[in-house]
Amino acid sequence: MSSALDEDTRQTLDAGRETAGAMLRAAQKDLQKVFIVFLVGFLGSFYALRLFVWDFFKGVTRAQMSAQVSGEVSIIAQTPFDVILLQAKIGLVVGVVLAAPVFVYFSRDALKVRGLWPSSPIPVWKLALILVGMVGLFVLGVAYGYYVFFPFTFSFLAQNAIAAGFTPTYSIVKWAQFIFLLTASFGLASQLPLAMTGLSYAEIVPYETFRDKWRHAFVGVFAAGAMFTPPDPFTQIMWAVPVLTLYGISLYLAKIVTTARRGSEQMNVAGTVGAHWNSIAGVGVVGGLLVYVFFERGGVAYFNQGLAAIGSDYVVYAPGSTAVLGAYVAVAAVLAATVAVSYFVYRDLDDLAVVEAGIGDPTAIDLGDLDAGGVRSAPPEIFGAMDEDEAMAAAGDALDAGDKEKARAIVDRFDQDGDADGEDSETASGAGANADGEQGGGSIGDRAARAGSTFFDEFRGGDGEEAESEEDDDGDFEGYYTDVAFILDSVTSNAFRIVAVFMTVLAVTFGWLYTGGIKRVYEDFLSRLPAQVRPEEVLDVVALHPMEALVFQVKFSTIIAALATAPLLAYYAWPALRERDIVRQRRRAVFVWTGALTAGLIGGFVLGYTTIAPSVISWLVSDAVRANMVIAYRITNFFWLIVFTTAGIGFLADVPIAMILLNSAGVTYDTMRGRWREVTVGILAVAALFTPADVLTMFLVTIPLMAAYGIGLGVLFVITLGGRRDLAPSRGTEV
């Protein structure tokens, strides 16, 4: 039997195993030292967590909370081993992180043999500078998280949970994981200056890429903020703004090191400082004076009043002595002078880059620095040295920047002056003239059109004998592909309206839940439980994760928005479905479908909310109530139980209704009966995605849905006379 891995993969894995073995052999005599470092990191973290880190984390968590909110928040251990196992896991991670560099250092001989160690020794001062920079930036990022971001975030999350009627009872494991995840995100984000500078200096990622793709970085930072932070604008901005500021600083540093590297012989930092020493000194003096005036003229009091106005408990203290004030002034003066030096160096680098680009080789001119007029008047050598991929990439960058005129100018100049005639003429001589009697070649647009036509001809089978022999095999796939592409095209042409409706419903639903709607629903539901359950004394809903309440609100709002958008999606897709003979009714049938399914959903929801859900929950808690136990449900478990026993009843009612509607649209009874296996697998897959991660709940959802599907088949058997007379109109019939 052939291996599941190809030869290259096996060779890579073998090389990795061999390298790891060689590293272990090379470091064998020093493994004791590596283990000692690991043990120090493990035990130090273990006891540090036990002695003061947990108290520090609790202080950060409650820093911005009012006394009332802080009294409601508690941190619990769900099992007897939660705390000690969590401390052990954190200690293991810290120990491995500290021991890994020591192990790599002691195994450097094996790495040198394999060419994985720098051939020329790196000066110690450079390594020390890099290490200090990494540690310093990491500390700054973590400090911002603990002293600015975390206090506001935890206060917001706790107040949101309490306002919704839940108790913020955080599991120590989930609470610690949340803190460490965000700590890691701030620490890694703070490494941007070093990472971008290093990549630009080594030309692994050119500085121009970071400069031209700043919009992508902007979107990426906010996307990462949406993943790491609560989904509210305030905390996302608090996460994103410092990262974007770091990106701007990193871009500046990347330009400095890149230009200095490319023109290192002409760049003279000391000369720049000497030429502008008076301006630099003046800026430093002004910076120091501003800090002195701030402290001496009551700036501290005004700043503290501003903090109090936004509900912050932080206080800025004035210097207690003249020496401390002098230190503050000196630091401010040095920082201001450093900024001035950076400005003058940056300006000289710009001048140097212009000089280098304007002398000698005109191809050194960067198209990214030109506007549309500059592109049209640029030397032809620039475009003669480009290939088609480079020209299209430059035009694409211009389009990304919103400059369509510049993109068109780049394409026109490349078609006019680019070195593509030889290749096109050879292609033309081999392929013959085109339909107009002209030879091949032409502009980028013409070549792209021909390439696209050739690709789709090949994709669809071409005109040769081989295509004819494969026509039967590929016919079904081609048909499905064409149908799906046609339907998606009709939907995407109205994507703006669909997305607008989805986002509007999502925002309205989330706003209603966030402003107290979920609490009103929760209290109304508890009032429907039997008196013996005594929800105000026994039943409690807790948040084990800081973001649990907010995440549930977002998920529930997304489901409501998807359901509300589905009829609009069907409305715009209906003409394409009818054109492909997938459905045979006119588009007005969408309103019938929407009305029927909505009626079934609402009817089932009312039945579940008023009768089934209270009965089920009362039955589930009855034994615990008789035993005088305190019941604390997680938000996700409790509310999804309510959703499944309310809206879930509506979905069950909609299954037979949807089957009747599908039959009227052209899906036959025999097809639905014959495809029951595929339906079962599909329901199992959906249940696995949208239910808690265990097999029991997956089957608890799947079995009722399959029972509803069986009822639908029974109803269809009756109304279609056993499948002999379906409800769908015959082909070509106008309905």
DSSP 144-177: HIIIIIHHHHHHHHHHHHHHTT-EEEEEHHHHHH
The Cα–Cα gap between 262 and 495 comes to 47
Mean pLDDT value across residues 5-28 = 70
For 622-682, the three-class secondary structure string (H helix, E strand, C coil) is HHHHHCCCCEEEEHHHHHHHHHHHHHHHHHHHHHHHHHHHHHHHCCCHHHHHHCHHHHHHH
For position 268, what pLDDT does the model report?
Answer: 65
Fill in the amino acid letter for 274: G
Compute the average pLDDT of residues 619-628: 74
Q: Please report, for residues 2, 55, 167, 632, the alpha-carbon distance to residue 544 in angstroms, rounded to integers and kept in the order given.
A: 49, 19, 9, 10
> Which tokens belong to 299?
């700036």
Range 657-678 average pLDDT: 84
Q: pLDDT tens digits, residue range 575-587? A: 877 776 666 677 7
pLDDT > 70 fraction of the chain, expressed in percent and rounded:
76
How many Cβ atoms are within 10 Å of 292's Cβ, its own excluded?
A: 16
Domain locations in the chain?
7-190, 264-359, 494-719
**What gap in Å lies between CA 90 and CA 27, rounded to an integer?**
25
Closest alpha carbon to 245 in 303, 189, 283: 189
Q: What is the pLDDT of residue 39?
A: 92
Q: pLDDT tens for residues 278-305? A: 888 898 899 889 988 888 888 878 877 8
Scanning the structure block, which residue is given the tokens 């810290």? Answer: 94
Q: What is the pLDDT of residues 51-67, one digit of tens each?
A: 888 888 888 888 878 88
The partner residues of 542 in beta bridges, in order of sequence, read 167, 634
Q: Compute CA distances 581 → 436, 490, 584, 723, whole Å.
A: 38, 15, 6, 20
Residue for token pair 């401010």 = 332
- pLDDT number for residue 38: 92
Side by side, which strands form the sheet with 631-634?
74-76, 167-171, 539-543, 631-634
Per-residue 3-state assignment (H helix, E strand, C coil) for 207-237: HHHHHHCHHHHHHHHHHHHHHHCCCCHHHHH
Q: Residue 632 forms beta bridges with which residues?
A: 540
Separation in Å, CA 39 to CA 54, 243, 449: 21, 34, 64
Helix axes 172-189, 124-144, angle to 10 degrees: 130
pLDDT, position 255 = 76
Listed residue (460, 495, 463, 462) closest to 481, CA to CA: 460
Return the H-helix or E-strand segment holding 502.
helix 495-512
Distance separating alpha carbons of residues 402 and 36, to the nearest angstrom: 58
Residue 239 corresponds to which tokens in the numbers above?
């996460």
316/314 Cα distance (integer angstroms): 7
Assess contact for 143 and 190: CB atoms under 8 A: no
- pLDDT given for residue 362 in this prediction: 58
pTM of the predicted model over 0.75 = no
Reference 672, options 705, 721, 714; nearest CA is 714
Per the CB < 8 A criterion, the answer to whether 386 and 418 are in contact is yes
Give the tokens for residue 677: 């296996």
Q: Would you say residue 420 has pLDDT above 60?
A: no
Say what the pLDDT of residue 25 is: 74
Highest mean pLDDT among 424-438, 472-486, 539-553: 539-553
Amino acid making up residue 306: G
Core vs surface per residue 113-152: b (16+ CB within 10 A) or e: eeeeeeeeeeeeeeeeeeeeeeeebbeebbebbbeebbbb
Q: Is the pLDDT of residue 616 over 70?
A: yes
SS3 state at 74: strand
In this structure, the strands spanning 74-76 and 631-634 are unpaired
Rounded to the nearest 10°, the torsion over CA 184, 190, 193, 199 is 10
DSSP 524-554: HHHHTS-GGG-TTTSEEEEESSTTHHHHHHH
Least confident of 10-19, 424-433, 677-686: 424-433
Query: Between the ranges 122-131, 255-264, 726-735, where is the mean pLDDT highest?
Result: 122-131
Confidence bin at 353 (pLDDT 50/70/90): low
Mean pLDDT value across residues 323-336: 86
pLDDT at 678: 86
Residues 261-280: what's their mean pLDDT? 71
Instruction: Note the pLDDT of residue 138.
Output: 86
Whether the CB-CB separation of 197 and 254 falls below 8 Å is answered with: yes
Least confident of 36-40, 201-205, 454-458: 454-458
Cα angle: 72, vertex 74, 75; to 5 degrees = 165
**Contacts of residue 133, Cβ cutoff 8 Å, sequence gap at least 6:** 193, 194
The pLDDT value given to residue 463 = 47
Work out the angle at residue 569's Cα, subtended by the Cα atoms of residues 568 and 571, and round it to the nearest 5 degrees.
60
Q: How far apart are CA 610 and CA 461, in angstroms?
A: 59
C-alpha distances out from residue 424 to 65, 120, 466, 576, Å: 70, 47, 28, 40
Is the model's pLDDT at 629 over the cut of 60? yes
Q: What percentage of the chain reaches a pLDDT higher than 90?
A: 2
For the ranges 162-176, 348-362, 368-382, the lowest mean pLDDT is seen at 348-362
Tell me how many degrees the CA angle 230-231-234 measures, rounded to the nearest 5: 80
Reported as a pLDDT band with limits 50, 70 and 90, residue 504 is very high
The DSSP bridge partners found for residue 614 are none
Residue 621 contacts residue 631 (beta carbons within 8 Å): yes
Say whether 75 sits in a helix, a strand or coil: strand
